[in-house]
Structure 1
Amino acid sequence: MLTDDHAAWGHTTSTGLGFTTGNVVDAHFAACADAYRTALDLAGLHRGWHVLDAGCGSGTFLPLLAERVGPQGRLSAVDLAPENAALAGRRVRQELPGGGSAPPADVRTGDVLDLPYPDNSFDAVWCANTVQYLDDGELPRALAEFRRVVRPGGVVAVKDLDAALLTLRPGDPFRLTDFFRHAARVPGYAHQLLRTRDLHLWLRRAGLTGVRQQTLLIEHYAPLTPAAAHFYGLATASVARQALDSGLPEQAWAPLLTPEHPAHPLRSPDAYISEGNVVAVGTVPPDSP
């Protein structure tokens, strides 16, 4: 799970995984909140269900999950970083949209590769922005765990970023694509961020049935909201540092190191940045052990 390149991305939790601290996870949610809600809608969750948020991070999805399962449902959540699990436990009680009644919620520290729950514990697993941290050997293990803890006929839904759809303008529209292709030449985080549109294949190989997948293009353009400007300023600075360290042209990347740089594309009146989010959903078969 932890590859050598994570430190370069910054914003690491106690797990050492890049871009997992609550402040940066919350910043991304704030920038893309409407798209996050749309992604969750694709999971097909039902009121009254018991849902596990696997790799819950700081708990940004928990209020939305609570809204969908309703007060008669139940929520469980697990995250590898103890500080994130603690934050998530507070969030589900304090931030339910509309001020409604929250369902019972249990938040724990734990590993998606070895979930601390018995077989058939849940009606569904929701896993968002987490499989990007699993290498090609770990991803099947996590999906096997999701299948194990979901009842036959229940749902496994996985959402993650597709870095192949990252575009920053004005300027070279392939600047971010070229960086990820360059970085993904060796196993690590960049490779895993380019694997996302194959999630439907991984779910099928895990034995899930009725697999469906949809990719959502998230676009931000000038004038950017403060939330979008904040998050993508952080994200592009992280990529720029790595691009320069790996020998990519300074002229293309140096302006991205500082969001306030006058030549940063996000400061342009024609600013545009996009990303892709993939949601893959499958059903645990009736004969599942």
Structure 2
Amino acid sequence: MTDTDQYAERLRLSNLLREPALRAAIQALKLPGGSRGLDVGCGIGLHTLLLAQAIGPTGHVTGLDLSPEFIALAGEYARKHDLAEQVSFQEGDMNHLPFEDDSFDWVWCADTLHPDPFNEPLPALREFVRVIRPGGRVALLYWSSQKLLPGYPLLEARLDAAFAEAAPYTKGVHRPEFHLMRALGWLRDAGLENLTAHTFTADVYAPLGDETRRALTMTFQMFWGWLQPSLSAEDWAKFHRLCQPESPEFILNQPDYYAFLTYSLFQGKKLR
């Protein structure tokens, strides 16, 4: 399996956990039937297909990503789900969108626009605003929190703190206005109005199916499985006891296991 295939499988598994929150966020947008939208940073097209379903057969969604491998996989997913006529995919950079002004009714960007010391959010957002028509909207969606270790709140808090310090898209970011929970300010600075924000929850609870167990195990490793240098020996050992499938204390074996994750949606309208 290639690196691209492995990453695509991780995205597919992650989608099992987050899809209820994604669908709720898309429903809250009340996208007009028959509209034309742009999914920036579409990856393998999982969100693109959900958006296409939301606007119906007379609408169209364009997915944009830097990776030609992801674009190819997205096309395969679209054909598999009989949505190839409602979506299209192309390579491109969100800071230099390859589209004319006023080309779309809305832009969706999920878990993609992450400011860092070298990349401010405003250039990309100005591009998003440029390509939507007056009255159109820009929607930014972010995985904003999770509670995955019921019964171990202090351990989970320390794991999350270590992740926040070390994650590639947060490491070295010390400007509070660059935090994703400040996204309404980015939208305002880009000239959008009628700003709103809302958070959606996806719940997971026992009994867990095999795919859900795989998805949660992968998520444990994605967030915390590489943090040994940032943790005490005691916390690292406890993480392994709780989050490794071969452990007798594996937390997913609890008959009353419950977890949740949240996605936060920030949107604004182009009035003129």
Partner of 1:63: 49
Pick from 133, 152, 158 the counterpart of residue 178 of structure 1. Answer: 158
Partner of 1:33: 19
1:172/1:104 CA distance change after superposition, 3 Å: closer
How many angstroms apart in 2 are the aligned matches of 1:232 and 1:35? 16
State the one-letter code of the partner of 1:272: Y
Contact 2:20–2:201 (CA under 8 A) maintained in structure 1: no
Q: Which moved more, 1:21-30 or 1:221-230?
A: 221-230
Question: 1:1-289 maps to which residues of 2 (within 5 A)?
Answer: 13=4, 21-96=7-82, 103-132=85-114, 134-135=115-116, 137-162=119-144, 165-185=145-165, 188-190=168-170, 195-248=179-232, 249-256=235-242, 258-286=244-272
1:170/1:139 CA distance change after superposition, 3 Å: same
How many angstroms apart in 2 are the aligned matches of 1:92 and 1:188? 31
How many angstroms apart in 2 are the aligned matches of 1:67 and 1:239? 30
- Deviations 1:111-155, CA, capped at 9 Å, x for gaps: 2222111221111111122224x4263322221221111111101
How many angstroms apart in 2 are the aligned matches of 1:176 and 1:169? 6
RMSD (CA atoms): 2.6
1:144/1:262 CA distance change after superposition, 3 Å: farther
Partner of 1:5: none
What is the DSSP-based 3-state SS (H/G/I as helix, E as strand, rest coil) of the residue aligned with 1:131?
coil
Contact 1:72–1:103 (CA under 8 A) maintained in structure 2: no
1:27/1:157 CA distance change after superposition, 3 Å: same
How many angstroms apart in 2 are the aligned matches of 1:279 and 1:225? 28
Q: Structure 2: state its 5+ residue gaps.
A: none
* Count of residue correspondences: 263
What is the DSSP-based 3-state SS (H/G/I as helix, E as strand, rest coil) of the residue aligned with 1:242?
coil
State the one-letter code of the partner of 1:173: P
What is the DSSP-based 3-state SS (H/G/I as helix, E as strand, rest coil) of the residue aligned with 1:245?
helix
User: Greater relative contact order: 1 or 2 (C-alpha under 8 angstroms, separation 6 or more)?
Assistant: 2
What is the DSSP-based 3-state SS (H/G/I as helix, E as strand, rest coil) of the residue aligned with 2:46?
coil
Identity of aligned residues (%): 31
How many angstroms apart in 1 are the aligned matches of 2:155 and 2:25? 27
Partner of 1:8: none
**C-alpha deviation, 1:62, in angstroms:** 2.3
What is the DSSP-based 3-state SS (H/G/I as helix, E as strand, rest coil) of the residue aligned with 1:33?
helix
Q: TM-score scaled by structure 2? A: 0.85
1:147/1:282 CA distance change after superposition, 3 Å: same
- Deviations 1:256-280, CA, capped at 9 Å, x for gaps: 5523322122222232222110011
Q: Which moved more, 1:64-73 or 1:208-217?
A: 64-73
